[in-house]
Every structure is written in C-alpha cells, then in structure tokens.
Chain A
Amino acid sequence: AQKVTQAQTEISVVEKEDVTLDCVYETRDTTYYLFWYKQPPSGELVFLIRRNSFDEQNEISGRYSWNFQKSTSSFNFTITASQVVDSAVYFCALKVGRTSGSRLTFGEGTQLTVNP
C-alpha cells in the first residue's frame, strides 16, 4: 500500500519569507511518480509539478523549487520570497506503477497562510 504524509498541517509566514513544505512518501514500487498540487480558496486543485522515481534532479520554476531525495523518501517544496497569493492548501501526491490512468494517493495537505 502507498502512503503520503504531510506532517505540517498549517504554516503561517510573513510575506517575503521562504517556506518549505514537507512531504514523505511510502511505497514498495520501484516505479512511481510524485506530485504537488495547489488548492486556492476557489477549491479546484491546480497541478504544479511531477517527478518520476528515476529522476532525482531537483527542479526550480520561478520562486518554486522541489527537492526529491529517495534516500529519505521525501519530496519537499520550497517557496522563495513568499507572496500573499501563495496562500492555499498544498497537497503532495503519489502514483505508483506504469499502468494507464492517474489514480493518485494524496497527503493530508498543508494550509499555507502568507500574511502581508
């Protein structure tokens, strides 16, 4: 069975601070994919990034960066110079195997509040 744990339920920062959201996953599959989604107050989740288990290269996209470490089964997400618009619930998710379809296992989510 798969599991995703986001230990931080809520994080509150002041604008321009850097913030890291933690994600730890569990799976016995050697082929898997990790994701981050953002859920703004409107409710719909928005896809941010996907990494596969064979690619541990870290990724940066603007103010967002992701650190994937198989040795610790972690896929952490850092927002640099946070902004009020970053306030949302962030979900880490896991998909195992190469089968078609996109059945994901989600973590509990981290509510990020960025205060002005």
Chain B
Amino acid sequence: DGGITQSPKYLFRKEGQNVTLSCEQNLNHDAMYWYRQDPGQGLRLIYYSQIVNDFQKGDIAEGYSVSREKKESFPLTVTSAQKNPTAFYLCASSAPGRNTGELFFGEGSRLTVL
C-alpha cells in the first residue's frame, strides 16, 4: 500500500546525543515536510523539501538537520544543539505539481530525551 513510513515509532536518547528519524514514502511525491508537535502548540514546521537535493528551513529549524538525496527519503537528524528535543515528530508529503495543500502524514516518531 502507498503511504509514508516513519521509524522508529518510539526513541529514547540521552542528552548530548544526535538521533536520526527516518521517513520514507512510496507515493511518488516531490515535496516532503517535517513537523514537530508539542502539547498545546499544534504542529510547527521544521524543514521542508520541494525537490531532491534541495530543502528549506521552516519556522523552528535550529538544532535540526535534514538531507534529501532520494525522492523517497527525507531523514531528520535531531542534534545535541536542540535544547528541548522531546516531542512528537511527524513527516508528511504532498503530491507533485499541485498546489492543494493536502498533506499525507506518517504515524509519527515520539522522541524522549532522558
């Protein structure tokens, strides 16, 4: 079935460690996004990529990094520079060449820093 797969679903990290969250899609979508969800704050955009080998910072990019070497993959690295990394992270994609705003989401990765 087509969709977005995020892994791992749950992740624990010690302070000072980098961690990479995986996001893979088989929808043939050009654009991909990473959002962070915190209680009471909705979703905030971290990074997005509209095409392979290109990506832009969102509203809260500090302490995060991404790459887009393949159309299907958009991994997010949470670095030790991120001051408050405990959150729920959602990856999304949108259809190619369309301006609809309709996003397809994965089931998320919950990161807890111990």
Query: Which residues does A use to contact B, with CB under 8 Å?
Result: 4, 6, 9, 33, 35, 37, 42-47, 50, 91, 93, 95, 98-104, 106-109
Contacts and interface: CB of A to CB of B under 8 A. Distances in A.
Contacts of B92: 45
B107 A43 contact: yes
Contacts, number: 71
A103 B45 contact: yes
B50 A45 contact: no
A45 B48 contact: no
Contacts of B103: 37, 45, 47, 102, 104
B31 interface: yes
B102 A108 contact: no
B40 interface: yes
Contacts of A99: 99
